[in-house]
Amino acid sequence: MSDVPHSPGWWKAGDGRWYPPPPGLTDEIPSRAPTPAPDHPPYQFDPSSQGPLAPVPRPQRSPRRPLFVAILAIFVIGALLFGIGVSIVPDSSTTAKANDAEYQMAIEDLLDSELTNLIFIETFWDSYGRFREEWIASPDTERPAVTERWLVEIDSEVAQFQLDLEQIQNDYAARDYPDGSIPDSVRDLAMIHYNAWQRWADEILTVANEWLQDRTSTLSLYGYATEVRPELDTNIETTFNDLCATLRATQPTDGSYILTIDDICTDS
């Protein structure tokens, strides 16, 4: 603060003193490039990568034990056929079935919850953009009121988002998936992901107030948040990538869910 303005943008408060503008209000909001979906297709067993089957030594025939030799030959041939059959059939225990109702439910839950996240984050940064434009266009005497209205607005938005996240997590917890099943693993990773979103929501208002008070920073709010609390965004990104990797690795091998998974893992 000062008794006289030092540069354009300083505003005069009710106490008659001059204050510098909040940092970063003349900066553009950095655009967040969407994180590319991880390339993690289902593992397919490749029989061509296996070594050739070892030749089975021909047993010595004994005229005194023809029945034993015949039984042994049948056993060896059966074992070989079984081994070859196992080697050329993909292991489907790690992929979901196309008609698995529980897997379909897990995917639909993700679609709904990721849409909630997308709507909130767009609303939040739109609110910041309007505040920045209004603050710049306002006379110095009105700028404190503009800032206060914005803080009240985002406080309400974040509170509603936290309620939405809580409902999402309660819905996930209520699903009765068998322990260790694919839908269960998807649900567990989704819960971790939404816990990361909860931590972001818990911290963002504190970060916004710190940004308004930090007179040394020239960053926009987004730039400031990623600088002083980088773990908030990186935790969301990491848990989201883990979730998408599991979706791609466990999706049915017939490709029936690939478009839906692409929507989840590209648009969020």
Q: What is the pLDDT of residues 231-267, one digit of tens each?
A: 999 999 999 999 999 999 999 999 899 999 998 887 5
DSSP H or E stretch at residue 12: strand 11-12
Can you give the C-alpha Rg of the chain in angstroms? 30
Q: What is the pLDDT of residues 45-79, one digit of tens each?
A: 233 333 333 333 333 444 445 544 444 444 444 44
The band of 154, judged by pLDDT with boundaries at 50, 70 and 90, is: very high
pTM reported for the whole predicted model: 0.66
The band of 147, judged by pLDDT with boundaries at 50, 70 and 90, is: very high
241 contact partners, CB below 8 Å, separation of at least 6: 35, 38
Grouping H, G, I as helix, E, B as strand and the rest as coil, residue 7 is coil
Please give the average per-residue pLDDT across 91-119, as a whole number.
87
Q: Which residue has the higher pLDDT, 5 or 256?
A: 256
> What ranges in the chain are assigned the alpha helix state H?
66-88, 101-137, 143-174, 182-213, 221-228, 230-250, 258-267
What pLDDT sits at residue 167? Answer: 95
In Å, what is the CA distance from 37 to each residue of 12, 21, 98, 116, 213? 49, 39, 22, 19, 37
What pLDDT sits at residue 10? Answer: 59
Q: Are 219 and 227 in contact (CB under 8 A)?
A: yes
> What amino acid occupies position 115?
L
How far is residue 173 CA from its own chain's centroid? 18
Tell me what percent of the residues of the chain surpass a pLDDT of 90: 57
Residue 134 clears pLDDT 50, i.e. is over it: yes
What pLDDT sits at residue 217? Answer: 87
The Cα–Cα gap between 219 and 211 comes to 9
Q: Which residue has the higher pLDDT, 114 or 57?
A: 114
DSSP H or E stretch at residue 18: strand 18-19
